[in-house]
Structure 1
Amino acid sequence: MSNEFRLGGDLAVNRLGFGTMRLPSKDGMGGPARDPEAGRAVLRRGVELGVNHLDTADFYVSAGDAVRANTLIREALHPYASDLVIATKVGPVRTPDGLRRAATPADMRGLVESNLDGLGVDRLDLVYLRIGRMGPPHGESLAERFEALAALREEGLIRHLGISNVDTAHLAEARAIAPVVAVQNQFHVAKRDDVELLAACEEADIAFVPFFPLGGGRELDDERLAKVAARHGATVSQIGLAWLLAASPVTLAIPGTGSLSHLEDNMAAAGITLSEEDLADLS
């Protein structure tokens, strides 16, 4: 199975990338700020290790907006390498009181422009429309919001479009409006609810990019994973990432961390090839 995937048929990325949500703060979005230089160092080291697909969002910030993921990316990596692909997402809107509401179609231009400014680019490689919170809002239409993003794509502000936190009906709805090159849902070796959606993506050559690929702060703890990890002299997390990459040729993994040692451990998962016996043990 190839270690590379072409997003939209034209953006070649290594299938093991990096998610930036944990860079601004220690405890997820809105938590106490991390040292910005530590975040910049992780980004630079990730690129050295072969990361050419970053996943970010303008709302990945620490408490008080003291540290922002997009700012760290720009400071660490701009001017960007020609092969670096930066994906961002829009959907939640932060209000002055610190709460969040769902973006409306009218919000889309401002959200896209904030990402353009924060990253220091004239065009965004990939923008996901994220709907709902931790699970797909079944029966909720995304059409008007996605149409607004599609119009910005026609203007040249966005190269490719994706959707996040969705079901198969949302995918069909979005594809009737504009090409979808990537889907981002919660999915990992211990949470496989979206196998039908993954199959639909594979059939259409659409990237399937799981968020929380290592459980989202809940450590993967499974005897089957531990057994396979021992067989490879690897960690459970590395086997979790290797399983994602083996699950389908369209899966892209974007583990995130604020630690250089964890980054290097995660990136080593790209060198692990699971055998049929391993996959059977993990089935």
Structure 2
Amino acid sequence: MESARDKRTGEIVDAEQLWIINPVDPMGYECRGCSAQATPCSYRPENKVRPYFSAKDGHNAGCDVEGEVALVKRARKQRVTIREGFPGSFPNRLVLRDTRPVSSPDGSPTAPSSDGGRRTGSNGSSERCRNRHWAAQTIRPICRTFINYPFDRDLPLVVPGVTADTYQHVFRSLKSDQVIQYPEPRLFYAPISWKASIADDDRLEIQLSYGEWKERKLTRPYRVRMDWTDWSAAKRNYVSREIETARSEYMTAKKRGDKEKGWLFFIGRQDESDSTLFHVDDHRLVCCVVNEVIYP
């Protein structure tokens, strides 16, 4: 599983966030679809693959999350939204909280959780509300939804600072062969370059494979600069590790002949004097996903 619910706070946690959580509670997560125990896996520094959650004892009957693999496989080929609505769950908003919710002594959230929290069933038992919309804490699950459901990008999406209100219009690809000034904030994306990132105490800079070309050579590539002077070491390592993991996965996919690329997604400010440069100042507003982006 790519995400799970934090039992203490009720928030949805993306698996890659395990890289920055210290310590990781091995019993602190549950499936966001059925509340089955979700075990964090592959999050330690020595692990070579990305973190993930595993429902080792299986999901409960009727779990939406368990059926997502088959749904995504079908959604990559055709529209899956029907008259009654979208058949799965998805993040419909980005919520950036500066502090984690406070939990009560029994471990339940004291404030409403990102997907509706708990309610009391007709028999008096406590059961989890099944809300198909939920709030993402980083852009990563939103980007996965954009990739996984190419024919359903009319799904609603609210991102702070972006005036658009659907997946189709919130996301915008950078120009592959031209450097331009973008008039409005969007969730931008482009393939990363195989060239190594540049890092120092003040910033991490990533080159992309889109930009201005001359004689089949990329002469003015777009760049994304993480202005991380005030970031903790954990946040720096978190972003750096994801970028390098994605670059390695991208190169491996290329050697296999796959269509997958390493796509950098970000919400940033375009430099006023250098249109090739974007600034990102929050680690939650950048991610790198290795997959094929389909354009219906």
- Aligning the two structures, in what range does the TM-score lie when normalised by the shorter sequence? under 0.3
TM-score (norm 1): 0.28
Greater strand share, structure number: 2
Larger RCO (CA within 8 A; separation ≥ 6) = 1
